[in-house]
Structure 1
Amino acid sequence: MMGSPLAGKLYMQVQYDLQRRISSGEFKPEEMLPTEEQLCREYGVSRITVRRAVDGLVADLFVVRRQGVGTFAAGVSHALQSVRLRAYLEDILALDRHLRFQLLGIDTQVASERVAERLRLTKTAHVAHESTIVLLNDQPFMVGEGFFPADLVHAIEPEDFTGHEQPTERILNRAGLRIAYGEQNITATAISKDFAAHLDLKPGTPVLSVERLYFDDRGTPIAFITGVFHPERYQLTADIVPRGGAAPQIVPLSKDRK
């Protein structure tokens, strides 16, 4: 990559440099960015690296993709919403002995429109599907579903849900696939009748809904996970620090400052 002082993975260096150029006004709001091929030449990196960098800019709302046209610097209305939390993949997939997984069912089905869109499949493509209850300290914590492209994951086994390891990772590893990175969206919703029964809630109770999409190192979607959390057993905490900064040291308040 051309003389960048930024540390971190190569795609992050490209992402942050493009972000700097957008923030500085080099690319004006609604102005089209160079093509992937042009960015590859400019930064001396692969197309996969550029694609991951631009994916990060899209996720952080610095740029907007327009199908069949190109990628554009976001306008003010987009940039004002650029609050996004980050999590470590290793933490998401970590073995947790407080969790157990209760398998509800396994099948192969035609992908719904939403699943096909997220996994970049055709409308008639099939997916391997599982539904699961996640127990936290033996109490219902989450009920969810996992969808995997059937041409990549040929079978899901009940053994994938034994123990405390994340079933998604076990399913993919058995298929010879490795999670390189992912993205997650959490929204508020009202729980459906079917899911409510599994979490001991009344239908229509407000809950948090999660969608998690995992990619391999080529940027191919390999798993789409959806679910809802029990509202009294899920908490999301985030440190708020300057971009590129570290969390400040927490010092107890003295009596004079209370």
Structure 2
Amino acid sequence: MSNSKIPLYKTIENDLIERINTGYYKKDDLIPTELELAKKYNVSRVTVRKAMDNLVAKGMLSRTAGLGTFVKHSIASQKTTSQRSFTEDMKSLGMTCKTIVNTFSLKEADAQIASILGIEEKDMVYYIERSRYGNDDILMFEITHMAIKKFPDLSIQYLEKSKFDYIEKIKGLKIDFSFHNTIPMLPNERIQAMFNIDRDTPIIKVNNTTFLENGDVMDFTEQYMNSPKYQLNYIRKR
């Protein structure tokens, strides 16, 4: 568990919320028992119970006597009027876009990533880290997982340009929408050094799951935004 000043029960609560919002735990899924969670997080059952009580009170979980605790919350997603890539955002701002692929490797999908991507656990996935620049400023750092069997010809050359262009122009697929789970946080040491900010400068992390029109998940990306220089703004139209 983290040594931060956040109470342990709140850390567990936030982690469970993130797992629900990213689709690891889906509606009507059975949540692990208090004993299993206590072992997982290395805390007491009392601490786990407090976290789960809060989620029950918020309507995200429900308890059924003799059966266990289930996911009650159904993700409410709203499709915006447009779906733009980072590259398209930079062009709209009159800025020069540059992408550096820091890591491009293959790995086995763990249970969480497999559930989000709609594949089997231990299926092979791409693990991708990219630094995204507007002019000479680093504005975003991304960690992406994509299923290899869905995109066997993905390469660094495509990722240095636009992932959206690869999907739509090369693969001929249509991107439908993305689900964003936005989390304010303080940066770890790696992000501090990358963004050249101090440890007390808040940033935004966005867990982004992108869906294709055929219903497949395109990718799951964790986006760390250099919030002092790049902010996530929404325009909602009725």
Q: Say whether the 8 Å CA contact 1:130–1:156 is kept in structure 2.
A: no
Amino acid at match of 1:134: R
Structure 2 partner of 1:236: 232
Q: Trace 1:8-157 onto structure 2 (pairs within 5 A).
A: 65-67=27-29, 77-78=58-59, 86-92=79-85, 95=88, 96-97=90-91, 98=95, 99-157=97-155
Q: Is the CA contact 2:101–2:160 (under 8 Å) kept in the aligned structure 1? A: no
Deviations 1:98-143 (A, max 9, x none): 2321111211111233322211222211111221111122101011
How far apart are the structure 2 equivalents of 1:204 and 1:228?
15
Instruction: State, as a whole percentage, how many aligned pairs show the same letter.
Output: 12
Q: Scaled by the length of structure 2, what TM-score is found?
A: 0.59
Pair 1:225 & 2:221 matched: yes
1:195 paired to 2:188: no
Structure 2 contact 80–236 (Cα < 8 Å) conserved: no
For residue 176 of structure 2, what is the aligned residue in structure 1?
180
User: 8 Å contact 1:111–1:123 — kept in the other structure?
Assistant: yes
| Runs of 5+ consecutive residues of structure 2 not aligned to the other structure | 1-19, 31-55, 61-74
Unaligned runs of 5+ in 1: 1-57, 69-74, 246-258
Q: Secondary structure at the match of 2:173?
A: coil
Higher relative contact order (CA 8 A, sep 6+): 2
The residue that corresponds to 2:212 in the other structure is 216
How many residue pairs end up in the alignment? Answer: 171
Q: Is the 8 A contact 1:133 1:198 kept in 2?
A: no
Matched AA of 1:170: D
Deviations 1:171-205 (A, max 9, x none): 43434433122211111122222333222234574
- The alignment partner of 1:182 has SS state of strand
Counterpart secondary structure, 1:201: coil
What RMSD over aligned residues (CA atoms) do the two structures have, in Å? 3.4
Q: CA deviation at 1:224?
A: 1.1
In structure 1, the residue corresponding to 2:175 is in which secondary structure?
A: coil
Normalised by the size of structure 1, how large is the TM-score?
Answer: 0.55
Are the aligned partners of 1:101 and 1:134 in contact in 2 as well (CA < 8 Å)? yes
